[in-house]
Amino acid sequence: MNITDSIHCSRRTEIRMTAQQIAQVQRTWKLFRDINPQVIGDVFYSKLFTEVPSVKRLFRNPMVSQYKKLTDMLSMIVSRLQEIDAITNDIREMAKRHVHYGVKQEHYVAVGEALLWTLQQGLGADWNAEVQEAWTTCYKLLADTMIEASGY
């Protein structure tokens, strides 16, 4: 499956991760977290800004702080995937903040593609179809929750 074809955010679809998918995401994120957050953020946002240059204007603060926010947010979500319902309200509030920043529904696909691409680059040989499917499902769950909360 092509990474750029695998993200299709679909509102109103109930997405659940299997225990195996959760384990795959948590295992690979643990490997990924050994990479400096500044490197992760730089690779992710460079890919995002290359694919969708217009989103760069949404970031008014120094990117170094954004890199840390990205990795901290992903770490929090990944660590709590078994109890995702417990953090759904936090995810919804984050979505509302993103609307205020100027994020549009169509940005979610580009962000997902950039995230999967970044993970693939960082994980190298540890990236495979099973890991891709797990991360795609995880991102769809997150994105669909945020899109629904945003009221697009």
- 17 — phi, psi (to 5°)? -95, 145
User: For 1-152, where are the alpha helices, taking DSSP H only?
Assistant: 3-6, 19-32, 37-51, 63-79, 84-101, 107-123, 129-150
Topology of domain 18-150 in CATH is Globin-like (1.10.490)
pLDDT band at 3 (very low <50, low <70, confident <90, very high): very low
* 104 three-state secondary structure: coil
Give the pLDDT confidence score for residue 33 in this predicted structure: 84
pLDDT band at 2 (very low <50, low <70, confident <90, very high): very low
Cα–Cα distance for residue pair 91/23, rounded to 1 Å? 21
* The pLDDT of residue 115 is above 60: yes
Higher pLDDT, 35 or 118: 118
Q: Which of 20, 24, 33, 5 is nearest to 135 (CA)?
A: 24
Residue-wise pLDDT tens digits, 54-76? 999 999 888 999 999 999 999 99
Give the global pTM.
Answer: 0.90
* The pLDDT of residue 152 is above 90: no
Give the pLDDT confidence score for residue 47 in this predicted structure: 98
Q: From residue 117, how far is each of 15, 22, 86, 110 by CA, in Å?
A: 21, 19, 28, 10
Give the pLDDT confidence score for residue 15 in this predicted structure: 81
